[in-house]
Amino acid sequence: MEVNLLSVLSTSVVLVFITVFLLCYLYLGRRSNLPPGPPGLPLIGNLIWFNRLKNRKLKQYQGFYEASKTYGDIVSVTVFGQRFVALHGYDTIRDAFVKHSDVLNSRPSWLRAIKEAIKEGKGVIWQSGEPWKVLRKFVLQTLRDFGVGKTSLEEKIMHEVDAANEVLNASEGKPFDVRLLTSMMITNVIYGIVFAKRFDYKDEKLHEIIENLDRIFRIGGGLLTADGLLPSFILKIFNREAYEIRLKRLETIRWIKEHIYSEINNHESTYDNENIRDFVDLYIQAKLQRTDENTFNKGNMFRVIMDLFIAGSETTSNTVNWCILYMQEYPYIQEKCQQEISEKCGDKVVTWADRGSLPYIEATLLEIQRLANIAPMSVPHTNEVDIELGGYFIPRRSLIVASLYSSNIDPRHWDEPEIFKPERFMENGKLKKNQALIPFSIGPRICLGESLARMEMFLIFTNLLQRFTFCREDDNVKHSFENIVEQFTSAPQPYKTRAMKRV
């Protein structure tokens, strides 16, 4: 009888504790006026919600966008106490990253998964405060020095266009996958800026570099996922698949790290202050001349180079890949683009200076970026102090991400946003821009490779269309515009195109 009484009392105490805990959990959430979001559970938060997204084969940005239709433009979820805040719609994103940029410019470099990735250095992407301002200014100035917007870089890009021309001619109009070709073009441009080198397209080393860079995106970022918040030993026990993915990602990063460091070491041993060859030489020069060793050190040099390759190669090559897909699926738009090139440029090589006379080309590129949504979510921001945003309380050290996808299809700023219509960017025969198009994000943290990417896309797109017409593998079979679910960025499902030489 006494044992039963103790058992009942113990059960009652546990039930009371659970009830009080749940009431406190719910009460504090309401009291602090946190942004709404899918209901979660104590301790694990919205872990089950994240897992359901995976089971439904939805990417994280799709899940948040779906939730925004119920909870509004600011959606909040938690996982093991870490709060995620997802911003939707141009106006909300602008309010956060422009009007509140003074408190939302920081990066969550303290997050476990990110700390593992930036052991060598924070670079530009994961840097905050004054070191970020110094490094960003240096990188932008260096890119300008090496020709972004100038003839010197234009020559590099056109070299790759000519090399691609040979590959496309050799295909003789037969179906082939252009993904590797676009990757080789863009990787060579970046490699030329950073290391003053280019590879022949048959060089296995180039293929190995591209394969490892691609693998980073194919196996996922791991930084803003529920799994990414878990220590490796827990992940190994409860989610073996995610643990194996993490190991593959770390292995890939190690390979890239060894490759980049070998190039840096070679540059250090051959450095000549009177003969600056590339980005690495300029960084070495800055490291020797400056006193802020915590900013200009070898670890940060490695990380900045990683930033340039990861942010500047895969995303741009993917955009060009989408461009070719859209052209083969919308042949009448491809024809209009080619007609404009013929009328304004004739048979001469299209140059960067010609962009002002090719408004329909520019409009088509903008529309492809809008619908392709290469980077559907921004790199995470964080707040080191509590703030109010959109009438909600955002506690310090929240992970704040912008759904760039939501802005690019926001019906409050776009008429029939689901339709591919370059004409939306035209008015009276001239280019008309829409501020809600933010493929490179917005505010002080806007992608530092934006100018380079725009130049590459314009020159590659126009000069390839001038020489070739891209057609479906089978004229009667449409290709899907769905992207690869497993990939971190938005890449089209594999397809083959036929590059028909224009007479």
For the chain, 503 residues long, give each residue's pLDDT as a single digit of tens.
Answer: 544 544 544 555 455 455 544 544 454 444 469 999 999 999 889 988 988 988 888 888 999 999 999 999 999 999 888 999 999 999 999 999 999 999 999 999 888 777 777 778 888 899 899 989 999 998 888 887 766 555 578 999 999 999 999 999 999 999 999 999 999 999 999 999 999 999 999 999 999 999 988 888 776 545 556 666 666 777 777 677 777 777 787 888 889 899 999 999 999 999 999 998 889 999 999 888 887 777 888 888 999 998 888 777 888 999 999 999 999 999 999 999 999 999 999 999 999 999 999 999 999 999 999 999 999 999 999 999 999 999 999 999 999 999 999 999 999 999 999 999 999 999 999 999 999 999 999 999 999 889 899 999 999 999 999 999 999 999 999 999 998 877 878 899 999 999 999 97
Contacts of 151 (CB under 8 A, 6+ apart): none
Report phi then psi at 252, rounded to 5: -65, -45
Positions of E strands within 413-478? 426-427, 430-431, 468-472
CATH number at 242 reads: 1.10.630.10
Q: Which two tokens stand for residue 365?
A: 């590129």
The span from the CA of 344 to the CA of 337, in Å, is 11
Judge whether 15 lies within some domain. Answer: no
Please give the pLDDT value at position 4: 55
Please give the pLDDT value at position 2: 47
Please give the pLDDT value at position 12: 54
Residue 424 contacts residue 414 (beta carbons within 8 Å):
yes
Per-residue pLDDT of 99-132, as tens digits, reads 999 999 999 988 877 777 777 888 889 989 998 9
The span from the CA of 111 to the CA of 108, in Å, is 6
Closest by Cα among 465, 443, 219 to 365: 465
Residue 328 contacts residue 334 (beta carbons within 8 Å):
yes
Closest by Cα among 72, 66, 78 to 92: 72
Residue 219 identity: I
Please give the pLDDT value at position 336: 98
Closest by Cα among 391, 375, 396 to 104: 396
Judge whether 157 lies within some domain. Answer: yes
Per-residue pLDDT of 202-247, as tens digits, reads 999 999 999 988 888 776 545 556 666 666 777 777 677 777 777 7
Please give the pLDDT value at position 153: 87
Give the count of domains, the chain. Answer: 1
Residue 480 identity: S
Residues of the domain holding 47: 32-501
Please give the pLDDT value at position 224: 55
Judge whether 216 lies within some domain. Answer: yes
Q: Which two tokens stand for residue 495?
A: 């397809």
pTM over 0.85: yes
Go through the chain and tell me how many residues it has. 503
Please, how many CA atoms are within 13 Å of residue 67, restricted to the half-sphere of its CB? 26
CA 400, 402, 403, 407: dihedral to nearest 10 degrees?
Answer: 150
Please give the pLDDT value at position 85: 97
CA 151, 155, 156, 159: dihedral to nearest 10 degrees?
Answer: 170
Residue 148 contacts residue 454 (beta carbons within 8 Å):
no
Tell me the C-alpha to C-alpha distance, in Å, between residue 492 and each of 66, 326, 379. Answer: 21, 10, 21
Tell me the C-alpha to C-alpha distance, in Å, between residue 118 and each of 135, 294, 304, 382. Answer: 15, 14, 11, 17
Phi-psi region of 500 (alpha: psi -120 to 50; beta: other; left: phi over 0): beta
Judge whether 182 lies within some domain. Answer: yes
In the chain, the N- to C-terminal Cα span, in Å, equals 98
Judge whether 21 lies within some domain. Answer: no
Judge whether 332 lies within some domain. Answer: yes
Judge whether 339 lies within some domain. Answer: yes
Please give the pLDDT value at position 20: 46
Judge whether 218 lies within some domain. Answer: yes
The span from the CA of 273 to the CA of 266, in Å, is 15
Q: What angle do CA 198, 465, 215 make, to 5 degrees?
A: 45
The span from the CA of 180 to the CA of 192, in Å, is 18
The three-state secondary structure class of 163 is helix
